[in-house]
């Protein structure tokens, strides 16, 4: 069974999340402080991390950033949970490397649905087992790796799925709503700004996309044929 690490300092919320996840046949580990959560994450990386933003000792943002800079945990999917539901906080969480974001109070059933959707997407991508190339970018589904100009590039789980999606729909204009539905796997309520954040991160990590992943004003994005490499 997939193992979920839940880092949450509110014991009532943590136990509620544990109960619903275990009912959905997940193995759950709890950590009630940022320090304990970071230690557990590094000692035994989980299949998915549910992370509260406001934590004692070490904040959720610090844990998220640390996870993304550690090769052992860089690809672990992260769902951030917090009472701070303002758009600026959501964007900060996503820019720190979170794959998804849900605000308190939340429906435990919705959280379980998001966990399932994220894990299902990752499993599906890993199972295809083939290599996709685009210009100087190479994506290996089986190994879940990405290289740019021969150099390894670390992507979050959601960045990897978004990259694969736009590569497989080259030449099509993709609306932000379509990307939310198809890449995030459900009717996402976090707003289309989420897509923009992830696209910006992909462009930063994969310079070829700065020229090739075009913005379609007031609509979405389009990946064109790779331009000649200079």
All structural domains of the chain with their residue ranges: 3-122, 129-223
- The SS3 assignment for 171 reads coil
| Fold agreement (3-122, 129-223) | no
Domain 129-223 has CATH 1.10.10.10: yes
- The SS3 assignment for 155 reads coil
Per-residue pLDDT at 16 exceeds 80: yes
Per-residue pLDDT at 89 exceeds 90: no
Q: Candidates 3.90.180.10, 3.40.50.2300, 3.40.50.2000, 3.40.1350.10; correct CATH number of 3-122?
A: 3.40.50.2300
- 221/81 Cα distance (integer angstroms): 28
**pLDDT at position 84, please?**
64
How many other CB atoms are found less than 10 A from the CB of residue 191? 14
- H or E segment and range at residue 28: strand 27-31
- 42/3 Cα distance (integer angstroms): 14
**pLDDT at position 126, please?**
57
Work out the pLDDT band at 51, boundaries 50, 70, 90.
very high
Residue (of 120, 198, 204) closest to 166 by Cα position: 198
53 versus 130: the higher-pLDDT residue is 53
Work out the pLDDT band at 125, boundaries 50, 70, 90.
low
How many other CB atoms are found less than 10 A from the CB of residue 123? 11
Structural tokens at position 118: 């994220």
Residue recorded with tokens 């769902």: 79
Per-residue pLDDT at 91 exceeds 60: yes
Work out the pLDDT band at 192, boundaries 50, 70, 90.
confident
Helix, strand and coil percent figures for the chain, each rounded to 5: 45, 20, 35
Mean pLDDT of 22-43: 95
Range 56-64, long-range pairs (CB < 8 A, 24+ positions): 56/9, 57/33, 58/33, 58/34, 59/34, 60/7, 60/34, 60/93, 61/92, 61/93, 61/96, 62/34, 62/38, 63/7, 63/34, 63/37, 63/38, 64/93, 64/96, 64/97, 64/98
176-184 vs 157-168: helix axis angle to the nearest 10? 120
Which region holds residue 180: left if phi is over 0, alpha if psi is between -120 and 50, else beta? alpha
- 117/25 Cα distance (integer angstroms): 14
Average pLDDT across the chain, whole number: 86
Partnered with residue 148 across adjacent β-strands are 137, 151
């Amino acid at each position: 069974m997939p193992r979920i690490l839940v880092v949450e300092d509110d014991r009532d919320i943590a136990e509620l999340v544990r109960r619903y996840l275990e009912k959905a046949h997940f193995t759950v580990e709890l950590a009630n402080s940022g320090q304990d959560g970071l230690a557990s994450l590094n000692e035994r990386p989980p299949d998915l991390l549910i992370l509260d933003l406001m934590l004692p000792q070490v904040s959720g943002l610090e844990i998220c950033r640390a996870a993304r800079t550690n090769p052992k945990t860089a690809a672990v999917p992260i769902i951030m949970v917090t009472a701070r539901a303002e758009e600026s906080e959501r964007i900060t969480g996503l820019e720190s490397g979170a794959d998804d974001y849900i605000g308190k109070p939340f429906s435990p059933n919705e959280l379980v649905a998001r966990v399932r959707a994220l894990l299902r997407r990752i499993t599906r991508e890993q199972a295809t087992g083939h290599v996709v190339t685009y210009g100087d970018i190479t994506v290996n589904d089986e190994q879940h790796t990405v290289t740019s100009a021969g150099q390894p590039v670390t992507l979050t789980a959601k960045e990897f799925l978004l990259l694969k999606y736009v590569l497989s729909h080259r030449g099509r204009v993709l609306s932000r709503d379509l990307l939310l539905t198809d890449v995030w796997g459900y009717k996402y309520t976090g707003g289309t700004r989420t897509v923009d954040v992830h696209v910006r991160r992909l462009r930063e990590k994969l310079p070829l996309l700065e020229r090739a992943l075009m913005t379609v004003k007031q609509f979405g994005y389009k990946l064109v044929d790779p331009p000649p490499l200079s």
